[in-house]
Structure 1
Amino acid sequence: MRLIALNDLHGNLEPPSGSSGRVVDAGGADVDAGGAAFLATHVAQLRAQVPSVLLSVGDNVGASPVASALFHDEPTIDLLDQLGVAASTAGNHEFDEGYAELQRMQAGGCHPTDGCEFRPDFAGATFPILGADVVRDSGEPALPASTVVEVGGVRIGVIGATLRDLPTVVSAEGVRGLRFTDEIEAIDAASDALTARGVKAQVVLLHQGDEGAGGGPSECAVKPDGPGSAIARGVSAAVDAVFTAHTHQQYACSVPDPAGVQRPLVQGLSFGRLLSVVDLAVDPGTGDVVRADTRARNEIVTRDVPPDPAVEALVAEATAKAAPIADEPVGSLAGDLVRAAGPSGESPLGDVIADAQLEATRGAGAQVAITNPGGIRADLQGGTVTYGQAFTVQPFGNIMQTITMTGAQLDAVLEQQWQQQSPRILQISSTLAYTWSQAAPAGEKVSGITIGGVAVDPAARYRVSVNNFLAAGGDNFTVFAQGTDLVGGPVDLDALLAFLAAHPNLAPPPTTRITTAP
């Protein structure tokens, strides 16, 4: 029997553009990939070969392009229903608009403020949205821990869990009233409950993963000691496979369970560019999974197959209804603005967004602006820029906030870029510059910080603009939360739109603000 999974779709109904719409295959070649109509065809082809079930590992919605986001991601839920998704776990972006909105995604009904703008009504997801480790402050489960699906006459227990650190990557309002418990403990409890029901074949949909190390779609090229691998090694030996997500990486690995028996660990990039496929071998007499005969891989969602007509019609409906807003020109570029970072961690698009945020908050006394790379979701191609393209780049609707920080606090927050398995380099305005050293120990990596070409004084006070997510300490940049004298500003997208309008034929800036040392 076959398990097919997608992860981190983020409402990408149309084929994603730029680097977000490509996959590096096993031979190192770039392959155009993704698009819901092509995804549907690949799913159908995989299903036709063997009894199969389709699953999702979360972040189906949120940070979505305008054709989905303009309608509160209802078109994406309709897509997943149309594809026949049997179960999904909740990702962090399922909480972007709060728990009540996640419940509406599940149960249906019109948006409480905007109503039903995509279609006259919204039925909600036909599949359960799982979260074994998501509980209310009262201790009651906030989401179902698991579900059971039947494939080829075999019952399979599907357990869903999201990352325990979810509150650090969404706004505080989005998770108000909720707690996120230890992933392994929650998965093990759900596994025990399934075992008590006689369900022997079990898989986990885990919205957490590892950082990749540059391998092909079905290679096990991951950096060591990743959180996804740690959880996959630690959960109950009754679990037969672990699908991961969140890090937008491609890998197909095998890891030992606590009893020393290998089981698959797999992730399929993002935006519908890959499908993760696990072919489970099941003993028909016992119902147990034969791990030695189980295989995992990732399949590229190529665009050389006929698009599925029904899904193509759904996508066309969403894009047509969004077109009056999405197609409006908002600026022009002399060349491509890419979000891919160079060796220093700086990117041309990150530079432009930070400059836009600085320009939009000068009235609040801003001297520098800093933005998080995770908030930059796509490239901008040269030529005319439309509202829809700009929205795809900055879809969160975060509010700019200008705060006062000391020079010592600014240094401390820049040092926090090295808290993760891989550095998370903040994008900075042209007024800020510094050097970081790869060899220096954590906490001492940053040197030579200047603002406007003048060395930063640890005791002096500076006005720094960030979005409200960072201002609250998001992405574990907790020093930002120490800022004082907060003044609110525009929405981050509006800052970018104003900047593009004020700077026609904008050229990509040189990435020279952050320099590196041995």
Structure 2
Amino acid sequence: MSSRAFARIAVAGLIAATGLSVAAGPASAHPTSHKPATVPVRLVSINDFHGNLEPPTGSSGAIVNEAGVSVPAGGAAYLATHLKSLVNKNSAVVAAGDLIGASPLISAAYHDEPTVELLGKLGLSVSSVGNHEFDEGLTELKRIQNGGCHPTDGCSPAGEWKGADYKYLAANVLKENSGRYALPPVAIKKINGVRVGFIGLVTQTTPSIVTASGIAGLKFAEEVESGNRAAKLLRLAGVKAIVALVHEGDQITPGQSPDACPVTPGAGTRIAQGLSPDVDLVVMGHSHQAYICKTEDPAGQDRVYTQGSSFGRVLTTIDFQVDRRTGDVVRSSVVADNHVVTRDVTPDPEITQFVQTWKDRVSTVANKPIGKITADVTRAAGPSGETALGDLIADAQLEATKTGGNAEIALMNPGGVRADLTYAQSGSEGDGVVTYGEAFTVQPFNNLMQVVTLTGAQLDALLEQQWQSGGIVRVLQPSASLTYTMSPSQPVGSRVSNIKINGTPVTDAQQIRVAANNFLVGGGDGFTVFKQGTNLWSGPLDIDAFVAYLGAHSPAAPPALNRITLAS
């Protein structure tokens, strides 16, 4: 037996061992005269759904369409209707991660089983993992994949969980102790009679944006190198049409058509340009943006890379031809299009009923009023990056950690604020009323509140970490007790000054009790100075702190954006 034949058998064994099927036989090597030379294939992709079974609200529930107009978008029943209009016998539905995690209560209350079941109903066949797939750890992700009831909370009202109808892929997630794949790296699907290989990749920054317990025992390797190894596996299995599903992406210039390419080159572009020429196209996620872009692979061939926004607001179609003789994608045939999931269509009746069933199941908890607000409290940022909702959450966290933790200030990561609080009623609760479900949608992570002691010098260094590599700026949202001046035009390391706590200037040697969620305290989002903190104290869950604050300070008004002063 030749070494190449042995390698192909070994690869087939690897794929079979991970529970994936390998379609028998390549595409016909000698097309007959009555068959066309190529075969059409369509992929329909989604990314960053985050359990949004119901239509998302606020700024998360709208998107700019091809005409440059912001329109309401998203919702599982509308998604199903649009999807049915886009799929055909040549199609497969694929995804690029973060389908679950950071979800509204309707899904999160049942560990996202409702969302995974929905995606099965919609025909999803394969997805990369996203960083949020690891929110509850690898063991829980495997339970979601394979079935079984939750070990602590037991079975949901639907009964024993049967597992996902689609496969999660992760070619760059390895077990630290063995270096073996934690999940299948690749999958091979037969679409319209031809074999297409899929590679799953997740951002290598996952350890810095997921709690330590979620990624314990795992290594997240660099994406391009890992993707290229996976492409070799598929080539050894005789597969030449290869698609990378990558949970990483770029930022864009806001307000552009979802079919444009206004990206600021970042990690997504790096991956799209760096992957092996064996990879024909790249489907992306993570940055919650919509774009259709084209670049060149290392061999100088055109390669399309796409992303479809978030929360089910966009579906991406990618059409291409596969050469019957070679089994490879004809690169010049690749055409991608982002379709806005508008709400001007008839919602799918089956999915409407499915969502309503889960809404009814969680309604007792979700519809409970917890407080009131006087106006919209949103994530809209002022010139300094401060937001009213971020400030409100920080105030809640400070109040919840003063007793026991002796907190003096609180800081909230902006990425942990997932939705706006709107004054207009979303159901029958009345204007200004905030329900538990709405509060949970704002803060869905169930992070633990913690307090550590930092010196004044360390607090200054922590605030300087708001400016990060790659031009990323993450402005920590401060409680009312903390004020300072921000000077973005100054060199990094010299952009924060005039730090005060309750109006008193902070000294370098001063000991300060700082409250934050356990994700930040663990160094998440690049705020590694938190790990220098001492005298750790743990308190309530962040959602409980938020609920208690809204109840005690009802009606709550949007805080003024005056805690961070922007230097002129």
TM-score greater than 0.5 by the shorter chain = yes
Q: Report the counterpart of residue 133 of structure 1 in structure 2.
A: 172
Where does 1:84-483 land on structure 2 (aligned, <5 Å)?
Answer: 84-137=123-176, 138-214=178-254, 215-224=256-265, 226-363=266-403, 364-382=405-423, 383-421=432-470, 422-483=472-533
The answer to whether the Cα contact below 8 Å between 1:37 and 1:309 also exists between their aligned partners in 2 is yes
How much has 1:427 moved relative to structure 2?
0.6
Unaligned runs of 5+ in 1: none
What corresponds to 2:114 in structure 1? 75
Letter of the 1:376 counterpart = V
1:514 aligns to 2:554 (yes or no): no
In structure 2, relative to structure 1, the CA distance for the partners of 1:113 and 1:463 (3 Å cut) is same
Aligned equivalents of 2:69, 2:193: Cα separation in 1 = 40
> How many angstroms does 1:232 deviate by?
1.1
1:259-305 deviation digits (Å, cap 9, x = unpaired): 11111111111100011221113223332212122112211001111
Q: Distance in 1 between matches of 2:397 and 2:317?
A: 42
Task: Give a deviation string over 1:61-111, Cα, whole Å, max 9, x none.
Answer: 111100000111100010011011010111111111111000001001111
| Matched residue type, 2:207 | P
Q: What CA distance in whole angstroms lies between the structure 2 residues aligned with 1:250 and 1:449?
A: 38
Match of 2:18 in 1: none
Contact 1:75 1:118 in 2 (8 A): no
Counterpart code for 1:6: I
3-state secondary structure, aligned to 1:280: strand
SS in 1 for 2:516: strand
The superposition leaves residues 489-515 of structure 1 with CA deviations (integer Å, 9 ceiling, x where unpaired) of: 111111111110011121111111112
| Corresponding residue of 2:11 | none
Paired residue secondary structure (2:450): strand
Normalised to the residue count of structure 2, the TM-score between the two structures is 0.89
C-alpha distance after superposition, 1:315-342 (max 9, x if no partner)? 1111010001000000011000111222
Amino acid at match of 2:264: K
Shift of 1:446: 1.4
Asked whether the 8 Å contact 1:134–1:180 carries over to 2, the reply is yes
Residue 163 of structure 1 contacts residue 183 of structure 1 at CA under 8 Å; is this kept in 2? Answer: yes
CA distance in 2, matches of 1:443, 1:268: 36
Deviation at 1:420, TM superposition (A): 4.0
Amino acid at match of 2:272: A
- CA distance in structure 1 between the aligned counterparts of 2:218 and 2:555, rounded to whole angstroms: 46
What RMSD, in angstroms, separates the aligned Cα atoms of the two structures?
Answer: 1.1
The one-letter amino acid paired with 2:157 is F
Cα deviation for residue 28 of structure 1 reads: 2.7
Per the normalisation by structure 1, the TM-score is 0.98
Instruction: Specify the SS of the correspondent of 2:292.
Output: strand
Residue pair 1:74, 1:118 contacting (<8 A) in 2 also: no
Q: Please list every run of 5 or more consecutive structure 2 residues that lacks an aligned counterpart in the other structure.
A: 1-40, 424-431
Match of 2:373, as an amino acid? L
Q: Residues of 2 paired with 1:426 and 1:441: CA distance?
A: 19
Match of 2:47 in 1: 7
In structure 2, the residue corresponding to 1:43 is in which secondary structure?
helix
Structure 1, 358-367 or 73-82: larger mean CA deviation: 358-367
Instruction: State how far apart, in whole Å, the 2-side matches of 1:2 and 1:447 are.
Output: 54
- How far does the alpha carbon of each residue in 1:213-267 deviate from its partner, in whole angstroms, 9 at most, with x for none? 222211111113x001101111110111111111111111111100111111111
CA contact (8 A) 1:129 1:144 kept: yes
Following TM superposition, by how much is the alpha carbon of 1:33 offset from its aligned partner in structure 2, in angstroms?
Answer: 0.3
Q: CA deviation at 1:429?
A: 0.4
Return the index of the structure with the highest Cα Rg. 2
